[in-house]
Amino acid sequence: MAEGDGVAGRGIRVRLDGSASNNDVAALKAWLEREKPLDDRVRDGQLQILERPRAGGPPGHMGAGMEILLVVIGAGAEAVFRELLDQTRRAVDAWLENRRRVESGDSPEARVDPVNPDQG
């Protein structure tokens, strides 16, 4: 994302590992898009939720080749970013719990980390 395009340069990366498939990534993205606090921020133009090819995976990594990036739009205070990070973690935990109830087999492992989108 280029400088000056309205992006603050702060983001949250969500990765699924273990038994995760690209279908799991797509399902989690759809779940995040429907979560009220996140949806409100998307509608207000404060947040974008993107699916992108996974970068920087370990050698020989098996599983999902995609990841989800939540990008904070505009300048945001640290407290607002931390709140968004907490909301994202809660939403991912809720998705994992729901997936365990409705699907058999091993559940993927999830990581939710702050990231600078320009760093990938």
- How far is it, in rounded angstroms, from Cα 75 to Cα 95? 29
* Count of Cβ atoms closer than 10 Å to residue 100 Cβ: 12
C-alpha pair distances (Å), 102 with each of 6, 49, 88, 92, 96: 39, 24, 21, 15, 10
Q: What is the mean pLDDT of residues 30-51?
A: 93
Scanning the structure block, which residue is given the tokens 């989690």? 28
Task: Return the half-sphere exposure (C-beta side, CA atoms, 13 A cut-off) of residue 96.
Answer: 20
Q: What are the start-end ranges of the E strands in 1-120?
A: 7-17, 47-53, 66-73, 109-115
Predicted TM-score of the model (pTM)? 0.79
> pLDDT tens digit string along 54-107?
766 554 444 567 899 998 887 666 778 889 999 999 999 999 999 999 988 888
Query: Could you tell me the pLDDT band of residue 4, with boundaries at 50, 70 and 90?
Result: very low
